[in-house]
Amino acid sequence: MDLQATARAVAAALAAARRVAFITGAGISAESGLPTYRGVGGLYNEMTIDEGLPIEEILSGGTFARDPALTWKYIFEIERACRGAAPNDAHRLIAALERRCEVWVVTQNVDGFHREAGSTNVIELHGNLSELFCLVCGARSQCRTFDGLALPPRCADCGGLLRPDVVLFGEMLPERAVRRYEIEMTRGFDVVFSVGTTAAFPYVYGPVVEASEAGLTTVEINPDRTLLSDVVTHRLAAGALVSLRAIVDALGP
């Protein structure tokens, strides 16, 4: 099926839906100019790692505990690659769907763009890069740019080590976000989207597989194939923005 025909089929399912979930990853922010993590041009492929370690190890909770300056060095690189970017129309189209039905966004992205674009029900599974907290006194602060921070950054109040409120490799997901995700999944969705993610983690592909097996409408939006490509009801093999625009156009006013 071509993109327009698939978009019409997805729009028909959306028109009848009461509750819709969007599980999103780095691909939805690619059109904001942010690099993805994996794949062509992905940060993990492009970064030069002086220490000869896998990036997943550098960005892990274990390395952060042993050598926070090393982990922070690459967090700075990620932040630098994201600096100055803003939500794009794909984020805004999802937010605007709230006028038609109940929409939940479950995102692995740490850029905060879904909220910024106006989505109100957002579960940030991997946290938010611009929120820092002190490991000693717990003070929290918003930091839009890491430019000028010391390596590693220290708390202005007590001098304790700061870290961004993101999930590093090997760390648990934030409890409240997971609980909310479970509650909303149990309440059920009529349509479940996977947008711009390699769906590398069980908590990303699992709910989409379960929804498919339960006979619900599932949709993948991704120019590349993933573990979910043969599982979903509908697959749009194109970018997030062009795909969502085609769906919303087919949905009509």
Binding stretches for ligand APR (CB under 6 A): 25-27, 30-31, 36-39, 42, 108, 126, 196-198, 200, 221-224, 226, 239-240
Backbone phi, then psi, for 43, in 5-degree steps?
Answer: -55, -40
In the bound state with ligand APR, the residue whose beta carbon lies nearer, of 39 and 160, is 39
Q: How far is the CB of 55 from ligand APR (least distance, A)?
A: 8
In the bound state with ligand APR, the residue whose beta carbon lies nearer, of 2 and 99, is 2
Distance CA 80, CA 109 (A): 15
Q: How far is the CB of 90 from ligand APR (least distance, A)?
A: 7
Cα distance between the two ends of the chain: 24
Answer yes or no: 126 catalytic. Answer: yes
∠ at Cα 10 (7, 16), nearest 5°? 140
Q: How far is the CB of 174 from ligand APR (least distance, A)?
A: 13
Distance CA 31, CA 66 (A): 36
In the bound state with ligand APR, the residue whose beta carbon lies nearer, of 127 and 155, is 127
Alpha helices in 59-215 (DSSP H): 61-66, 68-82, 89-96, 113-116, 175-187, 202-213
In the bound state with ligand APR, the residue whose beta carbon lies nearer, of 63 and 226, is 226
Q: How far is the CB of 215 from ligand APR (least distance, A)?
A: 26
In contact, 240 and 11? CB cutoff 8 Å: no
Q: For 25-52, b where at least 16 C-beta lie within 10 A, e where not — what string?
A: bbbbbbbbebbbbebeeebbeebeeeee
Nearest to 168 by CA among 129, 217, 134: 129
Tell me whether the omega of the peptide bond preceding residue 152 falls within 30 degrees of 0, making it cis: yes
* Burial environment of residue 9 by CB neighbours within 10 A (0 to 12, 13 to 18, 19 or more): middle
User: How long is the chain?
Assistant: 253
In the bound state with ligand APR, the residue whose beta carbon lies nearer, of 155 and 228, is 228
Q: How far is the CB of 221 from ligand APR (least distance, A)?
A: 6
- Residues catalogued as catalytic: 126
